[in-house]
Each structure stands twice: as C-alpha cells, then as structure tokens.
Amino acid sequence: MATYAVGDIQGCYAELEQLLARIAFDPARDRLWLVGDLVNRGPGSLQVLRLVKSLGDSAVTVLGNHDLHLLAVAEGVAELHRSDTLDDILNAPDRDELLHWLRHQKLCHAEHGYILIHAGLLPQWSVKQALSLSAEVEAALRGNDYVEFLTRMYGNSPNAWDDELTGYKRLRVIVNTFTRMRICTPQGEMEFKFKGAVRDIPSDYLPWYEAPKRKSRDTTVIFGHWSALGLIVRDNVIALDTGCLWGGPMTAIRLEDRELIQVACTNPVAKNW
C-alpha cells in the first residue's frame, strides 16, 4: 500500500492518466491525496471529476478555489470567467451527481503526521483547530442553505482571523485561508492579489508557511495553489503545484519514502490572467 499526494490538476486529465499509469496506481491497494483545484482552465475537467469520484475512498481530495468557483457558477451566484473551461461539466448528463459529490469533499484532511490543504494555514491555527474550522465550512456546503453560503463566501475581508468572528464573515476567512492564501504578515493578515515568486513578495509579508510562530509547524503540510512557488519538499512543508497547466510537470510524491514522480505537460495553456 502506498499513498501518493498529487499537485493541482486543473482539468489536465491526460497528464493525470499518465501519472496514475506511471505509479501503477491500484485503488484496491493505494490511496491518492489531491490538493484541490481538480477543475478549470485545462481541457478535461469533466473527465477528471468522473475519474476521481469513481475512485471512492481510495481518493481524498480537498477543495480548491476553482472547485468552489464551479459550485458557485453552477448555482448561478457567480459568472463564468473568460478563461474558464467548465461548460462540459455544467452541460453533462451527470452534472448534478458530480456537483453533489464535489460539494461533500473536505477543506482539509489530517492523517499520519500530515495535513492536506489547498492553499494555506494561518499561523494562529493548530492542526486541531484547522480541522474544526474546516468542518464549519464543510457543514455549510453540505447544508440546506449551501447556495446562500456560496453567495456570501466571496470577498477579501476580514483578512485576518479572530476567534470572535461569527456568521459568514467567519466562514469567509476560513475559506480564504484554505483556498486562496499565499502570503501573510507574521501576525496572519492575508493578502490575496499576489501570485508571483517568493523573491517578489511585498515588504511586510512572507510565505504563510514561514510565519515564525506557526502553530502547525510540527505537522507536515501538503498544499498546492501557488504555481509560481514550484516544488518544495521539506520536513514539514510539501508544495506540489508545479504548474502542469502552464507547461510544467504534474507532480506526485509517495509519502512513505518521499519519492517524486512527475509527468510532462502535453498541452500547456497560455496564461491570460
């Protein structure tokens, strides 16, 4: 049995198939941990959703910003962007089944000394607290009022955590942390416009995982979302978004021995944002 963590897929179905073949993935024996952003921008989002869903308990996926965007567009509370490639899902005969499945995925998953997320963790959050807070959003997504939640989740404020936050402001900070954050101040104030390399981070900010008093530092965090960051493999940080969508490889890491497996991008998408 092996557990493979895989970076952002974003509709790159051909590369995902090649990667699974390269590792000889056997759903009866092995497990996949996916860092989110299964869909969008790439040409095969529908096929990716169908494949991951078909793996059942052999695949653990956390939600990324593009996955939440799909849910919001499907419910009519957000508009398609020019670069979105979600029409195949929205027009699929199994659309409702796929979206129901996606809506019931996690924001984070912790097991065997690892925590799997899409984007980041605030420095104030322990792993235990992160799991508890993610469960609040997961309950909102799965509840009867999930459309209202999707309507209210957008926005950049509040941009920092406060234990006294309530309602949709509280849920918005949780969502933004798990699915959008790349950088923050040492105190945990988030900034959402920056998408560049570490060397270009604005003054007063740093990569979220380098916050000096980060409470989750004793657990290895596996994440994606930040393609300009590239591959990082450290004792307590594994970054796996190697930009397959933009021409980089798709990357997996076998957690048992940290062996890296990569497949080349077959059809890069030009950046237009």
Domain residue spans of the chain: 3-263
Where are the strands (E) in the chain, listed by range?
3-6, 31-34, 59-61, 109-111, 114-116, 183-184, 190-191, 206-207, 220-223, 232-233, 237-239, 250-254, 259-263
How many Å apart are CA 9 and CA 238, to the nearest integer?
16
Nearest to 239 by CA among 256, 247, 251: 251
Residue 271 has pLDDT above 70, yes or no: no
pTM score: 0.97
Q: Please answer whether residues 62 and 118 qualify as being in contact, where contact means their C-beta atoms are separated by less than 8 angstroms.
A: yes
Q: Please answer whether residues 51 and 13 qualify as being in contact, where contact means their C-beta atoms are separated by less than 8 angstroms.
A: yes
Task: Name the pLDDT band for 151 (thresholds 50, 70, 90).
Answer: very high
pLDDT tens-digit readout, 107-143: 999 999 999 999 999 999 999 999 999 999 999 999 9
How many Å apart are CA 156 and CA 180, to the nearest integer?
10
Give the whole-number percent of the chain exceeding pLDDT 70.
99
Task: Name the pLDDT band for 270 (thresholds 50, 70, 90).
Answer: low
Residue 102 has pLDDT above 80, yes or no: yes
Nearest to 37 by CA among 116, 114, 93, 127: 116
How many Å apart are CA 220 and CA 237, to the nearest integer?
5
Task: Name the pLDDT band for 269 (thresholds 50, 70, 90).
Answer: confident
Q: Tell me the pLDDT of the chain averaged across its residues.
A: 96
Degrees (nearest 5) of the Cα angle 180, 210, 12? 40
pLDDT score, position 273: 37
Query: Domain 3-263: which topology?
Result: Purple Acid Phosphatase; chain A, domain 2 (3.60.21)
Nearest to 179 by CA among 45, 62, 273: 62
Strand (E) or helix (H) holding 98: helix 95-103
Average pLDDT over residues 13-40: 97
Distances, alpha carbon 20 to alpha carbons 32, 51, 105, 125, in Å? 9, 11, 21, 34
Beta strands 183-184; 232-233: pairing state? unpaired
pLDDT tens-digit readout, 24-36: 999 999 999 999 9
**Which residues fall within 8 angstroms of residue 92, CB to CB, at 6 or more apart?**
46, 98
φ, ψ for residue 22, nearest 5 deg: -60, -40
* More confident position, 1 or 60: 60
Q: Please answer whether residues 171 and 140 qualify as being in contact, where contact means their C-beta atoms are separated by less than 8 angstroms.
A: yes
Residue 272 has pLDDT above 80, yes or no: no
pLDDT score, position 120: 98
Residue 148 has pLDDT above 60, yes or no: yes
Task: Name the pLDDT band for 266 (thresholds 50, 70, 90).
Answer: confident
Average pLDDT over residues 236-265: 97
Nearest to 160 by CA among 149, 150, 169, 151: 169
> Chain centroid to CA 220: how far?
16
Task: Name the pLDDT band for 76 (thresholds 50, 70, 90).
Answer: very high
Q: Please answer whether residues 148 and 107 qualify as being in contact, where contact means their C-beta atoms are separated by less than 8 angstroms.
A: no
pLDDT tens-digit readout, 213-231: 999 999 999 999 999 999 9
